Structure 1
């Protein structure tokens, strides 16, 4: 009797909240196996499995991404089918929520269901980040990086390409596989930087060393990579030794603010690290890059950007469980500060659609390697990564966020540099790379 009453109350709530969702494309399965099918549903894209009788009321009372994310990662609910179909529901709820704020009927249903429902057993595992210290201090940034990147490298290898590149790939064709697309991206960056043998290059936030290895092997540059992740630094250092590149490549455990080279670099590159810098440190970041670069030198900055409605989203799901203290700023803010420092902006390229393809590849690889992943990390960790990567793919697909490669030059006196008149050289002879 209790079970049926709880299900009936959930059904009434679902009917009220989703009556205006047209066309209907999802269904709900309750913990007893019974289902709710909205009117007009033909073939559901996704089935939401409710395991906790009170979770629906908990989510609808205050529909934030943190609550939805925690409900999923701790197994109060699950998704069967197309996980990407879940995210438009968040948009729908944000639009209709003001209508329910002043509805006594809605709130009576919500509170009644929350009070009478039992609490399901939550999965044990990865918890929210708990960082200490001043935001974007070197010590706190190291904690933030460790929280995300210092899991075993074998876990990341379950969904990344063989070069362990953890940033947006470059698909020259929809038929490109992930490994090819990541090599394309590294080649594109090398060409934009016009790398030449013997040049000194700094890779800010080098990850597991994929670009360091690629640039050293193919372009014979002398490249230093830096990271705040101990696991990444160790992995990259061992990889360099295996490749016999110790005379060209080096990776250090170091913050970009701590780099103190007597001789400036010919080229700088930052690939997928910019999101960790923070709005308050953008001036520091670009000023440091300026000091580290030779006159006439190039700096390629590859980073995710927020849309025009930018605001710092503290205590979002991503901030708590994925990239603590990470901040996305709009491209105009990035470019404005870079110019104020003294850089000339020579090229800006959006790779937004490429990141949709990249993330979908990562999600597919993660799902296909579920059994292997679970031998390395706990279930909540798997769910955090699956949810954040799928959600990010959706955000890029609707232009809620984008990713840009920005080529900056530190001109010599009177605006002189060695850049060619056109960009044709970047795209010539790509076919020989196959």
Structure 2
């Protein structure tokens, strides 16, 4: 045991911020004037720290076995330095491991399980999410078109960035798969005049967006449906489709089928924007060092990440053609820090919204989740990619500006000008 404590002391001395441990018997290790403090109630937590198992250390905090003091930015600086190995795995799994992964993915993503998993996360509390999101409750990576933007401005810039990439026009039929609290759905309808359909598996989001549709008087051309994407009818294709922060819930074994379904929902020449989190490693489906297990248990059950190369492979297998890929990783790091800072500023109110011990566990989990993901995007352990795709149509190469039958022009400048 003394060897474990000595190892912990050596580890603390090498961290970029002063950290102090208070052991179960009251012994103090590390800095005398710490910026981050851990009060450990079990010796197992000391082992988690020494071994760099920050996911398990996070679980100890959520379950009340560890108390943490200090701000989230200092805590994450310490957490990144505590790691003993990279949480990103670039080694290709063997065929048996890959077969096991695929079987697990298939099992975890039935329609019933997906509905339960989505509701576990998104139906926690609208008021809780409203504490730290922007007023439109856009729960995905913002787009900081310039450095002085607020979170709300950057989220509106993201919504418009997607609409520009999709080249939305008045009267087009637009589908938003996983429409959240309706930010993109309503932005597209109000600013681009589209006929908009959104789907979600979250009962809270479904009710919230339908209230907004009624308040805005948009019932004649905007609708929000409680529906699994697999149940969408294919009788009348959409002109444009967006999927923002949704395909992470699909499961890697289902991705080709998912993109194939999207292709069948899209008219020939139509565009689809797939905006989602991707893994930093080529083969890992979640972060290592226990972080992926932490997110699976407390935040996103059933979530699976793939590398952007796998996204391109599976969408191609599904019959779509990638025409533009943009990495927004730094934007998501800044977005997550904005969310984290917003939650930290309103912790007292969060505890009123989510009362009791279960509420306290959720708040502790989200404190680590938001700040931890900000750190992970900063470090490049995970990423965010917007992939613009089209369902191919026939075109005449002499028409350089507006190819007949195609929604995507020959040049990119329409996105950015």
Measure, in 1, the Cα distance between the counterparts of 2:25 and 2:122: 39
Give unpaired runs (5+ residues) of structure 1: 1-5, 98-130, 429-434
Which moves more between the two structures, 76-85 or 165-174? Answer: 76-85
Aligned residue for 1:110?
none
- SS of 1:316's partner is helix
Deviations, residues 86-145 of structure 1 (Å, cap 9, x unaligned): 345555554389xxxxxxxxxxxxxxxxxxxxxxxxxxxxxxxxx9x9311111111110
Deviations along 1:13-63, one digit per CA (max 9) or x if unpaired, are 5225445x265632334578764335xx8x74x322314153533525765
* Residue in 2 that maps onto 1:420: 409
The yes-or-no answer on 1:388 pairing with 2:369 is yes
- 1:400 corresponds in structure 2 to 381
Structure ID, larger Rg: 1
Q: Residue 117 of structure 1 aligns with which residue?
A: none
Q: Which residue number in structure 1 is paired with residue 247 of structure 2?
A: 274
**1:84 touches 1:391 (CA, 8 Å); kept in 2?**
no
Q: State how far apart, in whole Å, the 1-side matches of 2:10 and 2:45 are.
A: 13
The 5 A counterparts of 1:24-423 are 25-29=18-22, 35-38=28-31, 44=34, 46-60=35-49, 63-87=52-76, 89-95=78-84, 134-313=107-286, 316-377=293-354, 378-413=359-394, 417-423=406-412
Call closer, same or farther: CA 1:17–1:56 in 2, change over 3 Å: farther
Q: d(CA) in 2 for partners of 1:327 and 1:199?
A: 32
Following the alignment from structure 1 to structure 2, what is the Cα–Cα distance between the partners of residues 88 and 180? Answer: 28
From the superposition, tell whether residues 24 and 83 of structure 1 become closer, same or farther in structure 2 (CA, over 3 Å).
Answer: closer
In the TM superposition, what whole-angstrom CA distance separates every residue of 1:348-396 from its partner, at most 9, and x where no partner exists?
0011000011000101111111111111111111111110111100000
Aligned to 1:128: none
Q: Distance in 1 between matches of 2:319 and 2:56?
A: 44
Matched-pair contact (CA < 8 Å) for 2:40–2:46: no
- 5+ residue gaps in structure 2? 87-103, 397-404
Alpha-carbon distance, 1:427 to partner: 2.4
The answer (yes or no) to whether the contact 1:55–1:71 under 8 Å persists in 2 is no
Q: Runs of at least 4 residues of structure 1 off by over 6 A?
A: 31-34
3-state SS of paired residue (2:174): strand
1:48-85 CA distance string (max 9 Å, x none): 23141535335257653442111111232233223233
Secondary structure class of the residue paired with 2:137: coil
Secondary structure of residue in 1 paired with 2:180: coil
Q: CA RMSD in A?
A: 2.7
For 2:317 and 2:109, locate their aligned partners in 1 and report how far apart those are by CA, in whole Å: 22
Distance 1:412 1:9 in 2: 67
Residues 270-320 of structure 1, C-alpha deviations (whole Å, 9 max, x = no match): 011111011000011100000000001000000000013432349710111
Equivalent pairs, count: 384
Give yes or no for contact 1:190–1:215 (8 Å, CA) kept in 2: yes
Are residues 390 and 23 of structure 1, via their aligned partners in 2, closer, same or farther at CA, if it must alter by over 3 Å? closer
Partner SS state of residue 133, structure 2: coil
**CA deviation profile, 1:230-282 (whole Å, cap 9, x unmatched):** 11101111111011111111000001111014210000000111110110000
In 1, the alpha carbon distance for the partners of 2:151 and 2:345 equals 15
Q: Distance in 1 between matches of 2:12 and 2:199?
A: 49
Decide whether aligned partners of structure 1 residues 24 and 149 sit closer, same or farther in structure 2, where only a CA change above 3 A counts: closer
Work out the CA distance in 1 between the residues paired with 2:81 and 2:255: 34
Q: 1:217 to 1:96 in 2, by over 3 A?
A: closer
Counterpart contact for 2:17–2:78, Cα < 8 Å: no
- The structure with higher relative contact order (CA 8 Å, sep 6+) is 2
Q: TM-score, normalization: structure 1?
A: 0.82
Contact kept? 2:298, 2:362, Cα under 8 Å: no
TM (norm. structure 2) is: 0.85
| Distance change (3 Å), C-alpha of 1:32 and 1:367 | farther
For the residue of structure 2 that corresponds to 1:95, the secondary structure is coil
Distance change in 2, residues 1:341/1:11 (3 Å) = closer
- SS in structure 1 of the partner of residue 21 of structure 2: strand
Contact 1:189-1:300 within 8 A present in 2 as well: yes
